[in-house]
Amino acid sequence: MEHKTSSRRSFLTLAGLAPLAVWGLSACGTSGPGGDKGAAGSASMWSLTGPPGETIRKNSIDTFNKANADTQVKLTLFQNDAFKTKIKTAIGAGEAPTMIYGWGGGGLKTYAQAEQVLDLTSWLEENPKVKDKLFPSAFGAATIDGKIYALPNETVAPIILFFNKTLFDKAGAQPPKTWDDLMALTKTFNDLGIAPISLAGQSRWTSMMWLELMFDRVGGPEVFNDVFAGKENAWSNPAALEALTKIQELVSANGFIKGFNSITADSNADQALLYTGKAAMMLHGAWTYGGMKADGGDFVPGGNLGWVDFPTVAGGKGDAKNGVGNPGQYMSISSKATAEEVDTAKKYFAEGLLSPAEVSAWIESGAVPIVVGIEDQLAATADKDFLTYVYNSAKDAPNFQQSWDQALTPTAAEALLNNIDQLFTKSITPEKFASNMNATIGK
Amino acid sequence: MSASVTITERGSGTQRKGRRSGGGKVDGAGAQADSQKSHSTATGALNWLVVPALVLFLVFAIVPLVGVLVLSFTDWDGIGAINFNGVENWLRSFSDPSMYKALGLTFLIMVLTWVIQTPISLLLGTFTAGSQKYRALLAVLYFLPLLLSSAAIAIAYKTLLDPNFGLAAGLHMPILAQDWLGQPQLALGVVIFVVSWQFIPFHTLIYQGGVRQIPKSLYEAASIDGAGRVKQFFYITVPQLKYTIITSSTLMVVGAVTYFDMIFVLTGGGPGNATRNLALDMYLTGFKANQMGQASVTAVILVVLGLGIALWLQRLGGKDKNGSQLEGM
């Protein structure tokens, strides 16, 4: 009796514990409300919550639905991080919405290679009006093996070196034009007890922005293009090693604020450091402008926010006008969608995405939509200096590199972020970084 | 496979809840065994009552488990076709130093959280088992962390520990302005502290229940023999709590194998890989790096680890563990 009950109890204990041990694994299962199938001719779309995109997308779809009674678009909104996991799972399970929101690049490539999204090349050729109003540079991240798998939309967001004008005046300093200027400013500000550069290092992609621009300024666009093309040992390019070494020199010189590894970008603490005068400079996406304007009190309206092109490096090959960042956002059509759903999606692509009303709404929100010929509209806003700068730097860039974590495949991107984290904490050398990353080429 | 979704959402939503229900089952099984003893004629009927639980166990535990085992021999990226690639993932995992680091870290967190939580919970549980009103009030305060979700706790601590805008700035105490989550050792310490802070209330509750089960007569007898409170604690309370300690430790240790949500929000595995334990490594490999096959290997290792430790702890209890602790009283 003792023995019998004893084994039963062990068994039941395990029955109780096993699900705990496997709860994480079963996440591999299918999930998601993919079956948003409405009436014939209606299509579904997943997009992101949060201002200003949420409101703009909702209004755009409401307008479209009112004008097209028989072809409705049903919108479901998710938070950014939740969406990224959910959309992958849904696509893997063949339950994707008709219109798939994304960031192009490596993620789109995995969808395209698994034949989960439609090739839009011929449709765009037949509809030049749709294609020609958009920035040509935005199509790069939507193109895989010469075919376009997504329609660029929304806004362009280059990475910009922001600075606090008040602190520069206090230090009697000028914004940096070269890397040597930047290193000198590091000393200047540290001597004044002000952190030279704000960085939310815990988020990892924030540190990545420094590498992207350094690779470009030292070695030009070819360095990363080689990586992207899968060239063997591309990360060991001497220019890449020089850029990595320079970054570690900046870390050693206390260029980045003390404790930057504890700071995350999702709480906007890095922006707060800049507008509260705790740090003098910050390299960040153009999208932070709106946040600093909203949260920084008099900082932006009072004209205390400055911005410059990323410094050049002596002997470097990269053009100071080269940009990196997000060339736009992307919308694909699921290959699992029915013919009616595809028609509705294409109709929305042509009429809804970046319609004149949507363009005005984006500009009003302090962002630059990827539409050509909007100079006058930008010049009429309160933020005309900044918006015009963003517009021109995106339009005139000889090369606009999509953010690495989106350009690379998810496998390589995760390895990259992990190695960047270790590079910035100086737990690996530039050589080790290069060899770790070389191992991910082609994956 | 859709059945497995329910468990995922429940599990990932509130890990703590999952662990607590596990505790319920342990006790429930004990109760069942006891009732069987006194009503042995009802055994046949009770066997049938096990069927729903068995079906649930098969659908929610065994089926996904087999699925994961199969996936560990594939190169599935979560989206495209599933191709078998033999033992390639397994070989890669076992030749990868970062896997061993994550494994070591998992054990380290397990041991440290156990060492910190057990004595504190035991003392607090013993203390709050008394009936005075102030103890009831204190007990309520102690249990507050139990009401919060791991994600909320992690976000709160992350904000408090911010070197520029956190507690240090608020209280004007520069000593608190450390790089808490930016230094490998400190970050690990913070993780262990926060995990302990979160789960000590739960284990205190278990110990409180255990202490209240100990017959008063034992203490009365000890008092007559001249034993003081300290002696009573070590010679009566602790030995009488043997099985409570095993139950609580099982939950702590098996829970520690799968700590995920709190670490994910608090440090994301950083700085470097300083807090990237196996569960987090599994998630990042599977869902961020799109390597479901590789992540499945880690998942299988986690299952084996969790079950092995749970079984081992059960054995620690000895053969008599299902007998009443009060038998012969």
Helices (H), B129-241: 133-143, 150-160, 167-171, 184-213, 216-224, 229-232, 238-240
- For residues B30 and B246, give the distance between their C-alpha atoms in angstroms, rounded to a whole number: 13
DSSP A267: G
Contact B11 A269 (CB under 8 A): no
Do A42-154+328-372 and A157-325+402-439 share a fold?
A: yes
What was the pLDDT predicted at A18?
43
Min Cα separation B98/chain A (Å): 12
Return the CATH architecture of domain A42-154+328-372.
3-Layer(aba) Sandwich (3.40)
Percent of chain B with pLDDT over 70: 82
Note the pLDDT tens digit of each residue in A134-177.
Answer: 988 889 899 999 999 999 999 999 999 999 999 999 999 999 99
Per-domain residue ranges for chain A? 42-154+328-372, 157-325+402-439
| pTM confidence score | 0.82
Confidence bin at A19 (pLDDT 50/70/90): very low
Min Cα separation A412/chain B (Å): 7
Note the pLDDT tens digit of each residue in A251-293.
Answer: 999 999 998 988 888 888 999 999 999 999 999 999 899 889 8
What was the pLDDT predicted at A442?
83
What was the pLDDT predicted at B8?
37
Note the pLDDT tens digit of each residue in A178-197.
Answer: 999 999 999 999 999 999 99
Is the per-residue pLDDT at B78 higher than 90? no
> What ipTM is given for this predicted complex?
0.80
Tokens of B75: 């190169």
Mutation site for A-interface testing, chosen from B39, B160, B288 by largest number of A Cβ within 10 Å = B288
Is the per-residue pLDDT at B176 higher than 90? no
Q: Does residue B112 or residue B325 have the better pLDDT?
A: B112
Please state which CATH number belongs to domain A157-325+402-439: 3.40.190.10
- For residues B227 and A288, give the distance between their C-alpha atoms in angstroms, rounded to a whole number: 68
Q: What is the mean pLDDT of residues A345-368?
A: 91
Contact A262 B1 (CB under 8 A): no
Burial A178-205 (b: 16+ CB within 10 A, else e): ebeebbebbeebbeeebbbbbbbbbbbb
Q: What is the mean pLDDT of residues B145-157?
A: 91
Percent of chain A with pLDDT over 90: 72
Helices (H), A253-355: 269-275, 288-295, 339-351
What was the pLDDT predicted at A70?
84
Confidence bin at B318 (pLDDT 50/70/90): low
Q: What is the mean pLDDT of residues B270-277?
A: 89
Contact A411 B79 (CB under 8 A): no
Note the pLDDT tens digit of each residue in B90-130.
Answer: 999 999 988 999 999 999 999 999 999 999 999 999 999 98
| Helices H / strands E in chain A, number of each | 20, 14
Is the per-residue pLDDT at A16 higher than 80? no
B294 vs A contacts (CB less than 8 Å): none
Is the per-residue pLDDT at A432 higher than 90? yes
Q: What is the mean pLDDT of residues A72-93?
A: 88
Write down the mean pLDDT value for chain A: 88
Nearest-by-Cβ selection for B179 from A27, A30, A262: A262
Instruction: Tell me the three-class secondary structure of B242-299, residue by residue.
Output: HHHHHHHHHHHHHHHHCCCHHHHHHCCCCCCCCCCCHHHHHHHHHHHCCCHHHHHHHH
Is the per-residue pLDDT at B36 higher than 80? no
Q: Does residue A29 or residue B240 have the better pLDDT?
A: B240
